[in-house]
Amino acid sequence: MTRAQPKSTSTSNPKLAIDGGPKAFTGATGKAENKIGVEEFMSIAERFGFSKDALARLRSAVSDDDLIEGGPNLAYYACPNPRDTKGSEFARLAREIFGVKYALPTSSGTAALHAAMVATGVGPGTEVIIPACGFMATSAAAAIAGGVPVFADVDESLQLDPNAIESRLTPRTVAIAPTHHWGNVADMDPIMAVARKHKLKVIEDCAQAPGAKYKGRYVGSIGDLGCFSISCYKIIGGGEGGMVVTSNERLFERACQLAECGGLWRPDRFAPPRYEGELFVGTNYRLSELESSVNVIQMQKLDGICDRTRAVRKRICSQLKSFKEITPQKINDRDGAIGYLMRFYPKTHELSAKIVAALRAEGIGGGTQGPSPSPDWHLYTAMFPVIHKVGAIANGSPFDDPRYAARGGKVEYREGDCPVAEDLYNRAVRIGIDQWWSNEDCDAIAAGINKVLSAYCTEGTASREWA
């Protein structure tokens, strides 16, 4: 007699699902909640500055059920089609507006500069020419890339003096990084000429001048790479953000590799390098979708902001008289600049201080640094971490890197290295320009400036017209 075979059950002798048996788990019965839902949205709305009433109305209008399945994912690469993200829209707008082939959104202007420095080959044993007036982020970016910043003086535009570059060049120089600051533009033609003559790359720092133009071209599109800060402190930007633009594919790819080392930007992220220098250790400087969402709107406002600022400045300047003791700041492109700080140089610090006090009494905001200014990271003498040569890790700074010494490099930063910058930056009187001033406001402010200058100075031909 044969023994009866026990019946196959899921508990005693389960048939594997792979052999046609029942599945062990046929799907979750627990109810999932969105990772990100209405509460997060309300938190953004709260941070955005909506009033309590508006917040209550928003909360009553939306529920988690209104969200797409799974809720939002606010990362650039999480989107099934990254081309549909706010980040890619932001990049597309930048390409269209600035007339460049490539744009890379980054988490900050400093990140953009770091990526651009690395892209151009700044590294241990190299030097980068940087204007004595600007912001510390430019020289810091050169240093965190492993290079050594070398300051060159400015001229009466307070921008990099093209004639001050060559005396600073060494066999170690790989790039020049002019800053277009306070909405004004550096004199790019002669800067590019020096760069091309010496086969150097040009990284334009446009953090303070997005939308400004030089001879009809947007700043950032003239050099090899343009870097922008799109932060709340700048002409456009709501929080933190940045952007690298270029028309050079190789430089773009190297900037991408530094800013997104996971290689998600590559056609095949795991493919071996297609050329020398394509793949290297980078970091993650991706811009968040939340910032990009704000920035696609901000970007579309850029030209309007620039046009209004130009119009206000021109209306005021067209009414200003000339005075023997006053030299207006040199403006390298009168039609392209969007200088939102008007500057002029009285003959002495004493005169600057008197003018500022009188302007303020007239209701016109003005300022001057003075002969003993408080530290200001816009002038190289106060960029302490750089001029004191302090790296992030012990013995790890580019200044004392043996590869720098081996190439004959030895940098010292001393007061007096860039005397024009030190003199003009501190002696200048600055007056903020507001894009929203009406014609009436402009006329009253111009009259106020004339009133004050007439009281302390002698009318006559100045060395330069107001612009």
Ligand X SMILES: Cc1ncc(COP(=O)(O)O)c(C=O)c1O
Closer residue to ligand X (CB): 38 or 306:
306
Question: For ligand X, which residue has the nearest CB?
Answer: 109
- Torsions phi, psi of 110, nearest 5? -65, -40
Q: Are strands 341-346 and 127-131 parallel, antiparallel or unpaired?
A: unpaired
* Spatial distance between the Cα atoms of 120 and 431, rounded to a whole number of angstroms: 37
The distance of closest approach from Cβ of residue 438 to ligand X in the complex, given in angstroms and rounded to an integer, is 29
The distance of closest approach from Cβ of residue 301 to ligand X in the complex, given in angstroms and rounded to an integer, is 18
The distance of closest approach from Cβ of residue 204 to ligand X in the complex, given in angstroms and rounded to an integer, is 10
Closer residue to ligand X (CB): 110 or 126:
110
C-alpha closest to that of 133 among 430, 465, 467: 430
Closer residue to ligand X (CB): 135 or 344:
135
Q: At which residue do the structure tokens 């811009």 appear?
A: 287
Active-site residue 234, yes or no?
A: yes
* Spatial distance between the Cα atoms of 130 and 159, rounded to a whole number of angstroms: 10
The distance of closest approach from Cβ of residue 113 to ligand X in the complex, given in angstroms and rounded to an integer, is 6
Site for ligand X, rule CB under 6 A? 108-110, 134-135, 137-138, 179, 181, 205, 207-208, 229, 231, 242
**Structure tokens of 341?**
């700080």
* Spatial distance between the Cα atoms of 254 and 262, rounded to a whole number of angstroms: 13
Closer residue to ligand X (CB): 88 or 139:
139
Alpha carbon 381 to chain centroid distance? 22
**280, 429 Cβ separation under 8 angstroms:** no
Reduce the secondary structure of 229-267 to three states and give it as a string: ECCCCCCCCCCCCEEEEECCHHHHHHHHHHHECCCCCCC
Closer residue to ligand X (CB): 156 or 205:
205
* Spatial distance between the Cα atoms of 22 and 26, rounded to a whole number of angstroms: 9
Closer residue to ligand X (CB): 234 or 352:
234
* Spatial distance between the Cα atoms of 128 and 141, rounded to a whole number of angstroms: 10
Closer residue to ligand X (CB): 161 or 205:
205
Q: Which of 234, 301, 324, 389 is an active site residue?
A: 234
Q: How many CB atoms lie within 10 A of CB 453?
A: 24
Closer residue to ligand X (CB): 41 or 182:
182
Residues labelled catalytic = 234
